[in-house]
Structure 1
Amino acid sequence: MRRLSSLMLGMLLGVSVSMDASAGAADTPPDSPETIHVNAIRNPEVRKYSAIVAGLDAFERGHRMAPAADVLRFRVERRAWTDKTPKPGEAPLALRLEGKDGFVLPLTLNDAVETIVPRSSAALAADSELVLNRKRRMVRVTPLVRSPGLPDNVRRLGDLRLECQVMVAIGKEELGLMRTLFVNSVLLTPNWCSFFKAERDGFPFEAPERLARATLREGDRTKDLPVEGRSFRTAMNDPDWSDEALIELAFEPVTGTAGETPRTAP
């Protein structure tokens, strides 16, 4: 039953949290008149602005877990199975909020391909959704909580705990009330992050590259975490580890020869 419940939650979060890209079927820029309005599609993999607001609310409620993280960010990246090398002539990645009656709110990406989505009563009233100038199933957008000053291969446990709360809040809004109540009944709790207690595998998070190992560290204590591909898992509600605990990620070496596609070393 535990394995089935974990699988069900993972599938639901996989649909609702790892957001797909554009509403159109082609690489049309956000300002193109040929962009199909996502309001007419209602693809469950497209992130609604109301779901983003639910994530902003969750970030504010749980900010004590990551007080140094000044704002909730959203990271835009190509999916793992896509070619990450830009194609010749490919337009720079762009995204915006788009809603009814011609509402448009462009969003800015920083050098790390992250964006901050503002609160906007006009975007809510327009029933807006996020639109990217990329083909569907090629790009995803995920919430990111990250305290400053950490190396790229280190995550803070409190940041991940808050990130989990944000992901679940977004997922519930995407799923809707009835499906959310169904998941609550299966997991026997409305707090989906707490379902992954210390004796279970833990909540899944994705790293930017394939992992060799992930180590939870606090003071002199360490704990090896389960890893699979680019994913690692850590328990969200284990009282033995504080929000200040750190997760150190070690990536698999990538090898290749000239003219060949690099491959991950065994």
Structure 2
Amino acid sequence: MRIPTLLMVATLLAASCAAAQTAPSVTLQATRDPVDKSYRKMIAGMDLFERHRALAPQATLRFQLLPRRPDTQLDGITLRVAGDTVSLPVPVAPDHSFTLERHQQAWKEDAALIASRKTSTLTWRAQVRSPNTPEGKRRLGDLRLECLVGVEAGLLSNNSRLFAWLGELFTSPESVCNAPDGNYLFFAERPLLGVTLYDGHRSANLRPTMLHAGGTQTAATLPYCDCQVLLDRSYYAPIWDRSWSDDTLLEFESPGSL
């Protein structure tokens, strides 16, 4: 983070603390959990998907729910878009994925997407899939688009509500998905031993530091990572490295595949 940015953060925090000390006490009625997903932001993610279709010209977009905590139960989960006057059920597929319909009134009311489980127990991801991708492999262009949509749609998990607004202030799809230190985690279908990239005649193995959330999680930090119960399936993909084409395929090595 650059020094001007740090100074701006410090100024904003100081102003917030000063305001908290001097402002009169006001009681506000909470209308929804602040970690519910914004309908407007998810629609913005859908719009971004259309603008960047060149990354995955034939792909489809869905959103997916994944467990964040060991006791999270996703089977039977329900979703609804809820606003001041709008309440729209959202069908959830057996793989816990779903799509959103565009609804003018829901947009106008700045509705929220609400799950029948506590939102803090869930991890949300965009799901971009190109047809004819070999079974058990992922296409790099799809992953690039997943990251862009996920950030734009506000799907990144953050347990710290106090600083969640700072994350939104300084996080953009480009800053996360086009930077080597963007740290956008992907999850494989099974536990991972390794990942190999294939692009024409070129191939390479992902470094061990790109698996399992970089291998840096500890018992103290893991509860703050949305990889908490998916750590052995997590990996970083080189979505920022344009020397790998969008048609690059990622092949996953799992314990049962040896």
TM-score (normalised: structure 1): 0.66
**Are 1:245 and 2:248 an aligned pair?**
yes
| RMSD of equivalent CA atoms | 3.3
Among 110, 131, 144, the residue aligned to 1:148: 131
Tell me the secondary structure at the aligned position of residue 50 of structure 2.
Answer: helix
Q: 2:38 aligns with which of 48, 53, 56?
A: 48
Alpha carbons of 1:201 and 1:119: their partners in 2 closer, same or farther (altered >3 Å)? closer
Deviation at 1:124, TM superposition (A): 0.8
Match of 1:193 in 2: 177
What is aligned with 1:68? 58
Q: State how 1:81-160 maps to structure 2 within 5 Å.
A: 81-82=70-71, 92-101=76-85, 103-160=86-143
Cα distance 1:111–1:151, how it changes in 2: closer, same or farther (>3 A)? farther
Aligned to 2:49: 59
- The residue matched to 1:145 in structure 2 has which SS? strand
Alignment length, in residue pairs? 204
* Cα deviation, residue 84, structure 1: 5.4
CA shift, 1:220, in A, is: 2.5
Moved more, 58-67 or 201-210: 201-210
Is the CA contact 1:153–1:250 (under 8 Å) kept in the aligned structure 2? no
Which amino acid is 2:195 matched to?
Answer: A
State whether residues 65 and 124 of structure 2, in contact with CA within 8 Å, keep that contact through their aligned partners in structure 1. Answer: yes
From 199, 204, 212, the counterpart of 1:223? 204
Q: Which amino acid aligns with 1:51?
A: K
User: 1:115 and 1:83, CA in 2 relative to 1: closer, same or farther beyond 3 A?
Assistant: closer
Separation in 1, partners of 2:182, 2:52: 23
Secondary structure in structure 1 of the residue aligned to 2:153:
helix
Cα distance change, pair 220–84 in 1 and its aligned pair in 2 (3 A) = farther
Counterpart-to-counterpart distance in 1, 2:92 and 2:182 = 34
Change in Cα spacing, 1:207 to 1:96, as seen in structure 2 (3 Å) is same
Quote the Cα distance in structure 1 between the aligned partners of 2:182 and 2:84.
43
Gaps of 5+ in 1: 3-37, 87-91, 255-266
Instruction: Summarize deviations over 1:157-213 as a string: whole Å, max 9, x none.
Output: 00011111112212399966x7545457xxxx95431122xxx68642122332111
SS at match of 2:41: helix
| SS of match in other structure, 2:37 | coil
Q: Sequence identity of aligned pairs in percent? A: 32
1:83 shift after superposition: 5.8
Structure 2 stretches lacking a partner, 5+ long: 3-28, 158-163, 213-231
Mapped pair 1:79 → 2:68: yes
Offset from partner CA, 1:74-103 (integer Å, 9 cap, x none): 1123336236596xxxxx2221111112x1
Contact 1:201 1:235 in 2 (8 A): no
Q: Give the counterpart letter for 2:237 in structure 1.
A: T
Query: Distance between the aligned counterparts of 2:151 and 2:122, measured in 1?
Result: 20
SS of residue paired to 1:244: coil
